[in-house]
Amino acid sequence: MEITIRKAKAMDVPQMLALVKELALFEKEPEAVTVTEAEMLDAGFGEKPIWFGWVALEAEGRILGIALCYDRYSTWKGRCLYLEDIVVTSTARSQGIGERLFRQCVEHGATNGYHWMRWQVLDWNTDAIRFYERFGAAVSTGWLNGELTEEQLHIVAAQ
């Protein structure tokens, strides 16, 4: 099967969102995806895009995988490339697509002045952990994630 990796385009958003939903189902949180196609389109291709990424396409144009990134900044380290999601549809796994997408992100970071690259992986996803460790990546256990929901943002802001 011939696979092409290219920068994501606005027309890819519906298929990209479908893969995000497939990932959420795999991670046992299908109801957690609340972003709409319009929001994802605007955030990636609107007036002030905040994410960028790549898609893995088969010859017929079906997207089999995605890598979605954005810029972060660390007061300790400087500019950081954050890999939000790398997803390969379940029927196309074990064909090297994930590795090609990951390498595309790494190449982007290496050639565009990033000081590091970061992502998250669930502690029970041993296949993903092994995947990242193959590249020499460190998977830490020392940091906990904090978050406020949209509703909480409004409550705290009003106080």
Active site residues: 132
**Can you read off the two tokens belonging to residue 9?**
């385009």
- Residue 130, H or E segment: helix 126-133
Q: What is the DSSP string of 72-120?
A: EEETTTEEEEEEEEEEE-GGGTTSSHHHHHHHHHHHHHHHTT-SEEE--
Q: What is the gyration radius of the CA atoms in the chain, in angstroms?
A: 16
* Amino acid at the residue 48: K
- Which three-class secondary structure string do you get for 64-79? EEEEEEEEEEECCCEE
